[in-house]
Amino acid sequence: MRNGNYGNFEVVVSGAAEPASSQLWVDQGVTPAQTVPTAPELAAQYLSNVLMHPVYEHWNWQRLIKVYGALPDARRAKPRVCKLLLNVASVVEYWQKGKLHVVAGPDAPDPAAIVVAVLKSHKTRFRLVAADMQPKSTDTDLDGQPIPFAVALRTWLQRTGRLYNPHEHTNTLGATDDYAALSAFLRERTCRSRHTWRAYTKELERLVTWCQELDLGPLSDLTRQDLLKYKSHLQKMRPSGRSAGPQATAPKPSISETSQARAMAVVTSLYSYWHDTGYLQGNPAAGLTGGSRAQAGFAPTRMVSLELLALCDAWANRSLQSLQIADANVVRRCAIWILFRFSGARLTELAWNPSQALPRVEYDKVGAITLTVVGKGNKIRQIPLPISCVLVLQRYRLARGLSEQPAALEQIPLIHGEKAGYLGARGLYDEVKAVLLAVASEIEQGDPQSGLLLRSVSPHWLRHAYARTLVVDKRVPLPAAQALLGHASVQTTAAYAKTDLAHLREFVEQGFGDSSERGGKSGTPAQSAL
């Protein structure tokens, strides 16, 4: 392994380094796009300005006083720098893996290496381009990346079937094979939501795989009978934990009734789109789904009791109290837990969105905090957090070397990652599961049933618990609960009221309490009715 000349931004590769003259880093987050300076010092200054956090800075007493005007102000702004300057002549602050590090000048890493690492951690904003770079494929997803069908699936899709409409005057889509038509469908129908794009891609891959197993296809060749067979195939996929009897073979993948309805809805949407745009001469999927009945029948079933969640809260509090030295990773896990626990946010909503610099936490004048996330349909939603979350979030920022409260224009990822600048959805999932598994290990000897339940809990269960607390326990008005949860329909929010029989019983008692009392004076309610 040989290091390239970082001063000219050469790439570190095995055995050779490509000169900087053939490549540049381009900032695509500004309009028009700008080239990042090639000199490490200038690049660090540029990144500090656009990312709103230090990247690589040298400090001494003279510069501190020049920047902050007076020594007391410098000590308040840079306490760690001032403390270290008592023993050394210069100090370096640098950003690495989502945290701000402070070291003595001689111990500081190469500035160009830090700059390159920061650029790579923001790969959706900063792109490394070469002079001979080939243009990107036109079939791209929401991030500008090629649609992730495997090469074998793409080859299988690049053809047409009997329903294909070859006449350019009526084929308004202009696609000449199923792959191009499928790409157009995904770009148009899922452009507003990253979650919808991922779900649609998964379901269409499932359909293509089934066609390959039965030697059917291409998609534009499937008949209505073929789609009915696929629907029957989905219904026969046994849910997990059930068996078809002693003669049963290896269990098939688990799929619930809701997932079956979702899969067929995607298929129906695809064929309707193809027929409406003239790509197909007929629609074999017409009438295969039941409209919005699946949504109307939504009933949350994955519930965990508040008592078990309280045990998890206590575990997080003990973890924080047992720390003598701030460990950013331990505090991060507790911060992630309280964000899921008290915001009701979806997993993908708490994952960092570089294009919109969300999610973020904001403080008002009295210290109350608000979490802002990007929800389904690319809608921005603000969620007030309870005051109990303030100390944990502030302690987490301090452990990262940041100030207790974020600056007004700060664009630092809310949750940092070790390998990149931020933690993705998979990493957030693992951190929440780590808390649940730790508590399950503590209680499973005395309460094995609860321990087993906690091991099956996922982050989305915390969203259900949050919703149930609002709707059932605290009786928050449904429109307010709907706004907090980001539900498109208030019926989805109202479904949580169906999950608690005791709550419904209490309403019945309240509704008929007066008539019961009157019945006590003039006979039983039954006698009065007679």
Q: Which residues are catalytic?
A: 346, 376, 460, 463, 487, 496
Alpha-carbon distance values, 3 to 7, 13, 24, 39 (Å): 11, 7, 18, 17
CB 81 within 8 A of CB 42: no
3-class SS at 224?
Answer: helix
Hey, what long-range contacts does 363-367 have (CB within 8 A, 24 or more apart)?
Answer: 363/405, 363/406
CA-to-CA distance for 469 and 211, rounded, in angstroms? Answer: 44
Query: Considering only CA atoms, which of 504, 508, 530 is closest in space to residue 519?
Result: 530
CB 362 within 8 A of CB 370: yes
What amino acid occupies position 118? Answer: V
Query: Considering only CA atoms, which of 22, 17, 11, 1 is closest in space to residue 119?
Result: 11
CA-to-CA distance for 340 and 365, rounded, in angstroms? Answer: 24
CB 334 within 8 A of CB 389: no
Query: Considering only CA atoms, which of 422, 424, 418, 370 is closest in space to residue 393?
Result: 370
CA-to-CA distance for 394 and 405, rounded, in angstroms? Answer: 7
Element (H, E) at 59: strand 56-59
Q: Where are the alpha helices (DSSP H) in 380-447?
A: 390-399, 425-443
CA-to-CA distance for 38 and 315, rounded, in angstroms? Answer: 48
CA-to-CA distance for 20 and 16, rounded, in angstroms? Answer: 13
3-class SS at 379?
Answer: coil
Cα angle 426-429-430, degrees, rounded to a multiple of 5: 90
Q: How many CB atoms lie within 10 A of CB 528?
A: 12
Sheet arrangement for strand 34-35: 34-35, 23-27, 126-130
| DSSP string covering 246-276 | TT--SPPPP--HHHHHHHHHHHHHHHHHHHH
